Amino acid sequence: MKKMLFLVNMVSGKGAINTKLGQVIDIFNKGGYDVTVHVTQCKKDALNVAKERAGEFDLIVCSGGDGTLDEVVSGVLRSKTDIPVGYIPAGSTNDYSRSLDLPKNIIRAAENVVHGRPYPCDVGQFNKEHFIYVAAWGVFSEVSYETPQSLKNSLGYLAYVLGGVKSLAEIKFLKMEIDCDGEKVIDEFMFGMVTNSARVGGFKIPGGNNMDLSDGLFEVMFIRKPRNILDINNIVGAILLRNIEEEYMFYRKASTVKIRCNEEVKWTLDGENGGSHKNVSIKNLYRAVEIIRPEKYYKELGRR
């Protein structure tokens, strides 16, 4: 039998995996895997276990939210192995799993691990850290995972936040120099993100329809400083329609992004604290990890 390391976050998504754990392991056993289960004990535990034990197994599978997947992928990269990763999304938001088009149902997601195929995905390097799908800064990134999902679903998260802004004085703007593959721009911005996902914080991002998880390019979007409340309304409209409006947004596809600011900027990486930095260097690690996706995506990859 092939050997699987199954890392389980029992508290993610209000413990969604707990009542299904026996069924999931049974699916893995019937699929030909000898399963070793490790329940994560604390933050970074999945990262450390994946790093230390990746070489012992044929496959690493994790169940939890996107933050759990982020830890596992970071651990695999640090282990210097090429072991594929399976993912059973069981978090509250599951942005990246939707970009991967993984089943929402836990049992079906477990079946995908057995019957799907490894698909090469890009990974982001943020200074010395890694992220799977988004590095972001600004008021939206700081509270994105605290907003009720019902509000995100009904309006879209950025539009929801911007719609509540009554005065420009409520928003903090930062002057930044952004370098995207050698193209430089200096301007004042209120929000920025470098992403490899069609969804962030529960909302569909502008430009997300053309997302490719394995093309070596990020989607880079920074929202410029609005001149007045009317500009905010126009930004909300663009976000709702998922349009790129150059007047209000700086949007590019790039493999490397360098960002400089004269003050410390608080970043989030895949929804977790990424620290505060004045200078940031972000690099796309082309097809750095294989994640199991439905068979159809492997076939499409072969036709490129």
Measured between alpha carbons, how far is 236 from 233 in angstroms, rounded to an integer?
A: 5
Helix (H) or strand (E) holding 141, with range, is helix 139-143
> What is the CATH number that goes with domain 129-286?
2.60.200.40
Residue 39: which region, alpha, beta or left (left: phi > 0; alpha: psi -120 to 50)? beta
The model's confidence at residue 168, banded by pLDDT at 50, 70 and 90, is low
Q: List all residues 6 or more positions away from 80 whose beta carbon is below 8 Å from its beta carbon.
A: none
Please tell me the predicted confidence (pLDDT) of residue 177. Answer: 98
pTM, to two decimals: 0.87
Quote the mean pLDDT of the chain: 87
Pick the CATH number of 2-115 from 1.20.210.10, 3.40.50.10330, 3.90.180.10, 1.10.10.10: 3.40.50.10330
Is residue 272 part of the annotated active site? The answer reads yes
Residue 276's pLDDT is 94
CA dist 164 to 160, 192, 229, 236, Å?
Answer: 7, 19, 11, 11
Asked if pLDDT for residue 158 goes beyond 60, the answer is no
Task: Enumerate the domain spans of the chain.
Answer: 2-115, 129-286
| Other Cβ atoms within 10 Å of 284 Cβ, number | 22
Q: Which of 71, 272, 290, 295 is catalytic?
A: 272
Task: State the average pLDDT over residues 249-276.
Answer: 93
Q: What is the mean pLDDT of residues 143-171?
A: 54
Statement: residue 160 has pLDDT above 50: no
Residue 268: band (very low, low, confident or very high) from pLDDT cuts 50, 70, 90: confident
- The highest-confidence range among 164-168, 221-225, 297-301, by mean pLDDT, is 221-225
pLDDT (0 to 100) of residue 80: 95
Q: Report how far apart, in Å, the C-alpha atoms of 130 and of each of 46, 122, 281 are.
A: 14, 11, 11
283, HSE (Cβ side, Cα atoms, 13 Å): 8
